[in-house]
Structure 1
Amino acid sequence: MYQWEKWVDSRERLFWTLQTAGWCGFAIVYYIGSFLAEMRSIWLFIIILNAYAGWLLTIPLRYLYRWAMSLSPLKMLLIVVSSMYVIALAWAVVKNFNNWTIYKKGYQPEEWYMYFYNTVDALIVMGCWTGAYFGIKNYQMLLKEKQNVLKASSMAHQAHIKMLRYQLNPHFLFNTLNAISTLILMKENKTAGAMVSRLSDFLRYSLDKDPIKRVPLKQEIQALELYLEIEKVRFEDRLQVTWDIQQKAQDALVPSLILQPLIENSIKYAISRLQEGGQISIAARTFGDDLMLEVADNGPLTDMSEGELFRTNGVGLTNIRERLQSLYADNFSFVIAQNKPNGIKVNIRIPHELAEMSHEN
């Protein structure tokens, strides 16, 4: 990231720097203009007081505008205009008071409304301040969005590479190819051919799918079925899988291969450690504007603390959380809990987005 972008991204530092520099600039320009009017030297002191008053009065605008940005456009506009007008009036009163009290040595107008003299000039200055604030704010938002896209790309790529590293791991391929070899020796050539086809299709899907883009859930289910059929060759009846996929959820968009590492963990830490075998449950349903995904197993008890598993060489959990964070910011949840009566249950909540509404497909 460029130094300028780093400086702009630091909101507190940027605001106070520009706030101070802006009002200092106002005082300098105003002082230079006073030479044309041949003002007395005391006028410099008044300019400094006015600039300092403007510096103080515009600080609350920052917090009002920040709050207003979370409201609807109409409400935001009303709050911005009204608060800008109130601050402009207050600043006009301060400027007139300083001018009359100091420069005109205690002059007081006959009518109270004269304190609001030159309000238009104050409105222009406050309008410029407001325009600069929202302009810089929008630039910061664009910069943040750019950073999130870059981070999502990087994290998704890392998660994809780690997943592929396991898929292409000699141990994984050895088990699969050994099962195929056994089928051939047993003269079950048709089954062996089907297994080769499934392995080829699964690896092709893994390699072809862009980890940055999202795909319909039904495509993910097809890939998971291929993966599980390969694993069933190793575990046979010891591996039982139940599906509970709501029809409405099948067209929802999900990050590619987001569930495969969870199923992989269940096989590694649950099914393989149960002599009689075990069960993996995969569910998906919509709830309001959210898509709820769940992978659960009935494996042996696992130590947990504050939603974290105590496992060595765990596969994919950290990458899944970081990938969801990059793709959805704070609009997601990733919860790991004990399943009842035994096992682990992982729940993922992401926004419910339909394939036909996305620009990614």
Structure 2
Amino acid sequence: MALAATHPLDIPRQHVFWLLHLGGWGAYFAQGCLYAVAHGKPSGYWVVPATAATMGALVTLGLRFVLRTCWVLPPRRLLALMIPMILASSALIDFVTREVLVDFCETCKPTTRLEFIAYSLGYIYVLLAWVGAYMGIKYYRQFQSETERTLAARSMAHQAQLKMLRYQLNPHFLFNTLNAISTLILDRDNATANRMVQGLSSFLRHSLDNDPMQRVTLRQELDALTLYLDIEKIRFAERLRIETGIDEDCWRALLPSLLLQPLVENAIKYAVAKQVAGGLLRIEAEREGAQLVLRVIDDGPGCQSMENGDLPPGKGVGLRNTRERLHVLYGENSGFSVRNRAPGIEVTLRLPFETSQTIGD
């Protein structure tokens, strides 16, 4: 219990409780003094409201202990338990306070059982107000804590989903690269094999070291993509042709790291590798109002079985991965579309145009 009380998150709540508790009973004492002045009571009468406030503060601490101990009970059972406790507390406050009051009012002492019961119930409204306020604040804090835990759980799930999507490296890429390195070694082209190993090492280090929750500028994204394309250029040589069309304003735009790599890999797999003459890969970026528009275009055979921008099952895992990342990060503020060209396929991404300056503001 002592450890729980000293937990960093509990200390501010304890301060709040004592501030409200002592402040509330202090206000009750002040109200009693004002009443005494308004009704012309003797100068020493302040001891009566002081006794009532002191007893109220002590008795409600007992009620607080009961509430904290039995808080796990269902609301109806908790209420049934608190009603007799409140009645007994009211009677105790009245008994002690009335012993002080009779020094100023001899007729205030009850003479019959009915008067005693009536006087004993005199502080019920104060105690009901205290218990109601305490339970209301406690239920509110409990609801707030559950909301914070829910948000934290959603945030953790959100980050875990992004990391899963971000770390899904296509095994075909690794297999093809390692197979190409093996072939180069067998052909005794050690210089090219070494260059390919270094390129693969640089790309994997970049992809694994970067935080998947971090966003990078488009310039940094294309620099990282160059590490990947350098490996593919060794594999395909002149068969892989690359073009870029980046608006000057877009270089500083922020986007999730390695967002374009699965799209480029998909284009190389279906548009370049399957054609004897290879193919063209073009990357474009432009700003349309408050959106950054990215396009990855190839001149391959396209996909004749695509319907309404959806690829058939089993194809385009990288495309679906990218679409899911955009949806998780930006929701309805993002867009993803795939369409056939003549020839090839065009993949278009839309996301909010943000820079480090706009985020800082």
Partner of 1:324: 326
Asked if residue 173 in structure 1 is aligned to residue 178 in structure 2, the reply is yes
Q: 5 Å matches for 1:1-361? A: 145-163=151-169, 165=171, 167-169=173-175, 171-176=176-181, 178-179=183-184, 182=187, 184=189, 189=191, 193-302=194-303, 303-310=305-312, 312-326=314-328, 328-358=329-359
Q: Is the 8 A contact 2:302 2:341 kept in 1?
A: no
1:335 and 1:136 mapped to 2: Cα distance? 41
The Cα of 1:142 is off from its aligned counterpart by 5.9
- Determine the C-alpha separation between the residues in 2 that align with 1:271 and 1:287: 30
The 1:141–1:341 alpha-carbon spacing in structure 2 relative to 1, beyond 3 Å, is farther
Q: Distance in 1 between matches of 2:333 and 2:343?
A: 26
Equivalent position amino acid for 2:327 in 1: Q
TM-score by length of 1: 0.55
User: Does structure 2 retain, via aligned residues, the 8 Å contact 1:176–1:230?
Assistant: no
Give 1:178 shift.
Answer: 3.3
Of 219-228 and 171-180, more deviation after overlay is shown by: 171-180
Aligned residues of 2:323 and 2:336 also touching (Cα < 8 A): no
In structure 2, how many angstroms separate the alpha carbons of the residues matched to 1:215 and 1:141?
A: 31
Compared CA separation, residues 273 and 210, structure 1 to 2 (3 A): same
Q: Percent identity?
A: 37
Q: Structure 1 351/177 Cα, relative in aligned 2: closer, same or farther at 3 Å?
A: farther
2-structure distance, mates of 1:349, 1:284: 10
SS in 2 for 1:279: strand
Kindly provide the amino acid, as one letter, of the partner of residue 201 in structure 1: S
Please give the root-mean-square deviation of Cα atoms over the aligned residues, in Å.
Answer: 4.3
Higher-Rg member (1/2): 2
Q: Give the superposition deviation at 1:141.
A: 7.9
**8 Å contact from structure 1 (residues 239, 277) kept in 2:** yes
- Tell me by how many angstroms 1:315 deviates: 2.9
Q: d(CA) in 2 for partners of 1:138 and 1:351?
A: 31
Give CA-to-partner distance per residue, 1:32-87, whole Å, 9 cap, x none.
Answer: xxxxxxxxxxxxxxxxxxxxxxxxxxxxxxxxxxxxxxxxxxxxxxxxxxxxxxxx
Please state whether the residue corresponding to 1:240 is helix, strand or coil.
strand
CA contact (8 A) 1:278 1:298 kept: yes
Work out the CA distance in 2 between the residues paired with 1:139 and 1:284: 44
Assess, with a 3 A threshold, how the Cα gap between structure 1 residues 318 and 340 changes in structure 2: closer, same or farther.
closer
Is the Cα–Cα contact under 8 Å of residues 160 and 211 in structure 1 kept in the other structure? yes
| TM-aligned CA deviation for residue 351 of structure 1 | 1.1
Number of corresponding residues: 253
Q: Closer, same or farther in 2 for the Cα pair 1:232/1:183, shift >3 Å?
A: farther
| Structure 1 letter corresponding to 2:244 | W
Shift of 1:225: 1.2
Residues in 2 aligned to 1:151 and 1:342: alpha-carbon distance in whole angstroms:
40
Q: Say which SS state the counterpart of residue 212 (structure 2) adopts.
A: coil
Q: Which amino acid aligns with 1:320?
A: T
Letter in 2 for 1:151: A
* Structure 1 runs not aligned, ≥5 long: 1-130
SS at match of 2:343: coil
Query: 1:21 matched to which residue of 2?
Result: none
Paired residues of 2:271 and 2:302 also in contact (CA < 8 A): no
- The verdict on how the C-alpha distance between 1:253 and 1:324 changes in structure 2, with shifts beyond 3 A counting, is same
Specify whether residues 167 and 238 from structure 1 end up closer, same or farther in structure 2 by C-alpha distance, changes over 3 A only. Answer: closer
Structure 1 SS opposite 2:238: helix
Offset of residue 137 of structure 1: 11
Contact 1:163 1:316 in 2 (8 A): no
Question: Secondary structure at 1:203's aligned position in 2?
Answer: helix
SS at match of 1:317: helix
Task: Supply the AA of the counterpart residue of 2:316.
Answer: G
Aligned partner of residue 273 in structure 1, secondary structure: coil
Asked which structure has the greater RCO (Cα within 8 Å, sep 6+), the reply is 1
**Contact residue 164 and residue 206 of structure 1 kept, 8 A:** no
Structure 2 residue identity aligned to 1:315: V
| TM-score, normalised relative to structure 2 | 0.55
